[in-house]
Amino acid sequence: MLYHIPALLKESIDGLNLKPGGIYVDVTFGGGGHSMEILNRLKNVKLVAFDQDDDAAANAPADDRILFLDQNFRFLKNNLHFNGIESIDGLIADLGVSFHQFDEPARGFTFRQDAPLDMRMNKSATITAARLLNTMDEHSLADLFYNYGELINSRRIAKEIVASRSVKPLATVNDIIDAVGRLAPHRQEHKFYAKLFQGLRIAVNHEIDFLKEMLEQALDVLKPGGRLVIITYHSLEDRVVKNFMRTGNFDGVEDKDFYGNVQTPFRIITRKGITPDAEELAANKRARSARLRVAEKI
Ligand SMILES: C[S@@+](CC[C@H](N)C(=O)[O-])C[C@H]1O[C@@H](n2cnc3c(N)ncnc32)[C@H](O)[C@@H]1O
């Protein structure tokens, strides 16, 4: 089975501005598409790859230039330090889930097939989607679907979930579809379920919090002139990345000096972000929501 097709491959690796002898980090190794492109383009390079899903380890090539770490990227700095690396020339993150994770029904990431409500990228993490759905209070569930799923009827969704679990705990994809299916707008059922599952997945994997932790550490370890290259797949994570690159903080609040000049740790390379062209979308429609942003540390 195909593990993954990398999105915006050429544009993202161009964005790293590779330099011979450089040290680069791919914090979302997955099927290794972006990592392999780095290794193919540059003979003299050191690459550190992270993935919290141990399935990804099997994709790591037997190549002295790469060090694969079966770790969450929220521990970026500690892991680099542990391996004797204090500064890097570039970092790439291709966020979200791989095709492999999404297409494996047992992982519970898709609403298209019945499976246990799992959704953990790290299979040894303790909190599954079922656990969240059965234990969170109604108010917090509504916040989860509103903030992470961007669903406007989040209060009714939470109410239905709480009613359903009081009869029988939610355990499978079909259980949640049965619980909230009647709230899905007519002819927009798939969009509704996609948002519902996106919200749950983000919460199960703490995606926004861990992204922020990683970005702050990336800023610390990047050398001046080093590149930060991030591919996002939905507006929530894109906003985090955009604000951070523009202002160095997550609220996007500009810090100005005495003369009114904006103080920012980055020079923006891609002002609006880069999205896949028609040719890429024809070959890989799953790349449709990808957006690449590149910034250089000043
Ligand atoms: C979209 S895939 C990356 C695909 C990869 N660029 C390729 O070309 O095959 C995202 C990967 O990042 C991993 N991932 C997501 N969040 C992570 C985190 N906080 N720490 C480590 N790995 C993470 C997932 O397990 C998944 O394998």
6 CB near ligand 1 (under 6 Å): yes
For 44, counting Cβ atoms within 10 Å of its Cβ (0-12 exposed, 13-18 middle, 19+ buried), the class is: exposed
Query: What pLDDT, on the 0 to 100 scale, is given for residue 262?
Result: 85
121 CB near ligand 1 (under 6 Å): yes
Atom 2 in ligand 1: residue holding the nearest Cα: 98
Instruction: Output the CA 153–ligand 1 centroid distance in Å.
Output: 30
Query: What pLDDT, on the 0 to 100 scale, is given for residue 107?
Result: 95
Q: Ligand 1 pocket test: which of 77, 121, 280 has the largest number of ligand atoms within 8 Å of its C-beta?
A: 121
Chain centroid to CA 235: 12
Instruction: Output the CA 50–ligand 1 centroid distance in Å.
Output: 8
What share of the chain in percent tops pLDDT 90? 97
Query: What pLDDT, on the 0 to 100 scale, is given for residue 1?
Result: 80
pLDDT, averaged per 10 consecutive residues of the chain (298 residues), comes to 96 98 98 98 98 97 98 98 98 97 94 96 97 98 97 97 98 98 96 97 98 98 98 97 96 91 93 97 97 98
Which pTM value belongs to this model? 0.97
Instruction: Output the CA 129–ligand 1 centroid distance in Å.
Output: 19
37 CB near ligand 1 (under 6 Å): no
Of ligand 1's listed atoms, the one at least distance from the Cα of 6 is 8
Atom 4 in ligand 1: residue holding the nearest Cα: 30
Rg of the chain over CA atoms, in angstroms? Answer: 20
31 CB near ligand 1 (under 6 Å): yes
292 CB near ligand 1 (under 6 Å): no
Instruction: Output the CA 266–ligand 1 centroid distance in Å.
Output: 24
Query: What pLDDT, on the 0 to 100 scale, is given for residue 293?
Result: 98
Q: Which long-range contacts (CB under 8 A, 24 or more apart) does 257-264 make?
A: 264/298
Sign of CA dihedral 123, 125, 126, 132: negative
* Residues making up the chain, counted from first to last: 298
28 CB near ligand 1 (under 6 Å): yes
What's the number of CA atoms in the CB half-sphere (13 Å) around residue 213? 13
Of ligand 1's listed atoms, the one at least distance from the Cα of 36 is 8
Query: How many other β-carbons are positioned within 10 Å of the β-carbon of residue 287?
Result: 19
Query: What pLDDT, on the 0 to 100 scale, is given for residue 29?
Result: 98
Q: Dump the DSSP string for the chain.
A: ------SSHHHHHHHHT--TT-EEEES--TT-HHHHHHHHH-SS-EEEEE-SSGGGGGG--S-TTEEEE-S-GGGHHHHHHHTT---EEEEEEE-S--HHHHH-GGG---TTS--BS---SSTT-S--HHHHHHHS-HHHHHHHHHHTT--TTHHHHHHHHHHHHHHS---BHHHHHHHHGGGSPTT-HHHHHHHHHHHHHHHHTTHHHHHHHHHHHHHHHEEEEEEEEEEESSHHHHHHHHHHHHHSSSS-PPEE-TTS-EE-SEEES-SS-B---HHHHHH-GGGTT-EEEEEEE-
Query: What pLDDT, on the 0 to 100 scale, is given for residue 157?
Result: 98
98 CB near ligand 1 (under 6 Å): yes
119 CB near ligand 1 (under 6 Å): no
Instruction: Please write the tens of the pLDDT for every residue from 223-266.
Output: 999 999 999 999 999 999 999 999 999 999 989 999 998 889 99
73 CB near ligand 1 (under 6 Å): yes
